[in-house]
Structures are given as C-alpha cells and as structure tokens.
C-alpha cells in the first residue's frame, strides 16, 4: 500500500492508502473519500490533478483529456493513475468539494419544457423529483458544474451544464446546442415530451466560481458556453456579490442568438454587471457589436484597471483564442478558468462507447 496525499487549492490536505493495482479515485472511494470525478475512464478530465512528488503509471486515457504536453508537466487523471510509490497530488478545487460520506449522484426528473430558442439551441428544462413521492428535490451543485443526462430508453448519456442555480423546486434548465446527427439532438427534436421521465447523474466538474477577494470577474461565453456562465452570474446575483462583472457573449450568426432579452434584464438588475454581445456575421438590422467575443475581451482588457479573474466557456477554438488574448494582456494563468466543449466522439477514451463531452477547468 502506498500513501496518497491530496492538497486542495486552499492549502488543506487529506490522505489515504492506494494499492498497486488500484487507481487513485477508486482507492479514495474505498476509504470514503469522494474526490471529483465523472466518467472514471480517462475521457472527461474532471479528475485532473498535478503530481508534485512520486512515481505512477497512467493507463488507457484519452489524449484529449490529457494531452502529452500536460502529461510531461506531471498532470495526471486520477481515475487512470496507478501509484508506484507514495504520491503527493494537488487538485484544482477547494477542500469543501471533497466529501467524506456517501454522495447522491443519481437523480430522476420529468421534462417540463423543451423549446427551440434559436436556429441551433434548445432550452431543455427538467424538474428533479423523488421517484417514489413525486416531491421536488433540490440537486446541490456549484454554479458552473455539469450533469450527465440519459436519453430515455437507452444507456447513452451526454453532459450539459445547468444555466440555473440550485433551487428548492428542483428545476434545472439546460441550454443545448443541436449537433447534426447528434444522438441527444435527435432525442430533443423527435422524442422529448413534456412529463417524460429522465435520469440524470451528477453534479460533476470543477468549473465554478473561485473566491479571490473582490477582484473583477469577466465571463466569456461562446454559443451554449453561456449555460454554465449564466449559472455563475445568477449565483452572484443571488448572493449580491460586490465584484465588478463583465459578461461577454458571442455567436457567429444573428439567427443563432438566444437569451438576449434575459441577459439585458439580468444586466438591469445587477448594477455592477456590464454586458457585451457580439455577432460575427450580423444582419443589416443588428445594432450591437460586430465581431467575436475575443474582440470584445480585447476591448475590455485595454480599459481594465485591474487584472480580472477570467472564466471562459465554449468551443475549443474560441476558448484557446480568448485564453491567448488574456495572457497577452498580462492576466496571470492562475486567474483564468476554462471549460471547453468537444464533440463527444472526439473526446472519448472509448470511441465505440460514444464518449463524454470533454470538460476542462
């Protein structure tokens, strides 16, 4: 048995034992330590950590979840990490995210809305309930995390972040991009019905608000990357957070734009929130900004008096370009939090299985 020591980003530690043939996540669970994980097959990057000391072997994982340059830098996926000696590991979340008791991750609910809100986005709303009593159940999660939703009648799951915050009426709203030939998209377009029962698992993921004093917070979202970002901004609204906040949102075509009125209302109700919406290829009647969220960010960073915390969410190209601009303007890397959406088939450790949406933070 080897000793595994976990250090969280707020400097707390916990430790447990792990055998030669066990991965770190499984060994921790055996000893009632629940670290953040999701797929547990090396495909989603939820369990990514930095090894600061010790030897280990990594087995069967997706190079999308752990690219070779990260592996060379000592990053590991704990669900695929087998110790070969004592290990010291840093995880990118706070101690309160580790549970030391059984955590409920299986939920059921009923569909209460499924509406097309732009040419390629569906608003899918589920009310989580106790399957026996039908009473609404609050699903505890941190704004920015995600849930796996199962397509009814199948074992196929896809990962989506709620745009809402945890509420006592159990309602979770998901903003979902339609993918050509995507299995979940086919379900939403053809089979989803009001009152239909759905199974969910979660919450998962480490993309969430970091408490770094009153440093300004910039949220940058491309397409349905708005969903977790909206959850975080709504959480700030609920707790009346005092931070100077910017929410920058971009789409390619005007017909892809959604939630514009909701965002305007949110900005009206939050005096510290500045909203920027950009359309790359607008129609002649568009009165807002033309360009990308990267252009918007550049503009806001040029005028910034302090280096903000930056939260990025969207497709990989947009996230990479935005990350570069933030670095160019001197925002330290450890103040940039990101989550990339990758098509399930590209992110899977096991392409036969259909895979998981890759998320990183």
Binding residues for ligand FES, rule: CB under 6 A, are: 37-40, 42-47, 65, 77, 79
**C-beta of 65 vs 344, nearer to ligand FES:** 65
**C-beta of 65 vs 122, nearer to ligand FES:** 65
**What number of helices (H) and strands (E) belong to the chain?**
8, 19
How many Cα atoms sit within 13 Å of 241 on the Cβ side?
Answer: 21
**C-beta of 228 vs 282, nearer to ligand FES:** 228
Q: How far is the CB of 183 from ligand FES (least distance, A)?
A: 20
Q: How far is the CB of 43 from ligand FES (least distance, A)?
A: 5
**C-beta of 308 vs 355, nearer to ligand FES:** 355
Question: What stretches of 10-151 show up as alpha helix (H) in DSSP?
Answer: 24-30, 68-72
- Cis peptide leading into 203, omega within 30 of 0? yes
SS3 label, residue 234: helix
Q: How far is the CB of 214 from ligand FES (least distance, A)?
A: 33
**C-beta of 40 vs 201, nearer to ligand FES:** 40
Cα gap 182→194, rounded to integer Å: 21
Cα gap 196→221, rounded to integer Å: 30
Question: Residues 6 or more apart from 11 whose CB is under 8 A from it?
Answer: none
Cβ atoms of 278 and 306 within 8 Å: the answer is no
Cβ atoms of 172 and 123 within 8 Å: the answer is no
Q: How far is the CB of 45 from ligand FES (least distance, A)?
A: 5
Q: How far is the CB of 159 from ligand FES (least distance, A)?
A: 10
Q: How far is the CB of 348 from ligand FES (least distance, A)?
A: 11
* Residues facing 118 on adjacent strands: 121
**C-beta of 120 vs 348, nearer to ligand FES:** 348
């Amino acid at each position: 048995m080897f000793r595994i020591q976990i250090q969280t980003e707020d400097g707390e530690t916990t430790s447990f034992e792990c055998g030669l043939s066990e991965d770190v996540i499984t060994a921790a669970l055996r000893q009632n330590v629940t670290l953040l994980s999701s797929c547990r097959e090396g495909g989603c990057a939820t369990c990514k950590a930095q090894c600061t000391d010790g030897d280990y072997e990594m087995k069967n994982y997706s190079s999308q979840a752990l690219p070779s340059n990260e592996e060379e830098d000592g990053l590991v996926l704990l669900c695929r990490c087998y110790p070969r000696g004592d290990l010291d590991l840093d995880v990118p979340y706070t101690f309160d995210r580790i549970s030391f008791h059984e955590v409920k991750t299986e939920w059921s609910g009923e569909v209460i809305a499924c509406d097309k809100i732009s040419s390629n986005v569906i608003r899918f709303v589920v009310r989580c309930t106790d399957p026996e009593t039908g009473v609404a159940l609050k699903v505890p999660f941190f704004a920015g995390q995600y849930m796996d939703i199962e397509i009814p009648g199948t074992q196929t799951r896809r990962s989506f972040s709620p745009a809402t915050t945890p509420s006592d009426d159990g309602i979770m709203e998901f903003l979902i991009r339609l993918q050509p030939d995507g299995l979940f998209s086919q379900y939403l377009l053809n089979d989803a019905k009001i009152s239909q029962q759905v199974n969910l698992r979660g919450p998962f993921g480490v993309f969430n608000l970091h408490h770094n004093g009153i440093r300004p917070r910039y949220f940058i979202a491309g397409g349905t990357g708005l969903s977790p970002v909206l959850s975080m901004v709504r959480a700030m609204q609920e707790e009346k957070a005092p931070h100077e906040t910017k929410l920058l949102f971009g789409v390619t075509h005007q017909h892809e734009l959604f939630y514009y009125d909701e965002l305007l209302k949110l900005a009206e109700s939050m005096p510290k929130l500045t909203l920027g919406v950009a359309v790359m290829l607008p129609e002649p009647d568009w009165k807002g900004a033309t360009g990308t969220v990267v252009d918007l960010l550049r503009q806001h960073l040029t005028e910034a008096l302090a280096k903000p915390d930056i939260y990025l969410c969207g497709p990989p190209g947009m996230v990479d370009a935005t990350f570069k601009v933030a670095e160019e303007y001197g925002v330290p890397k450890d103040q940039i939090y990101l989550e990339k959406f990758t098509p399930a088939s590209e992110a899977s450790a096991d392409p036969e299985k259909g895979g998981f949406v890759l998320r990183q933070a």
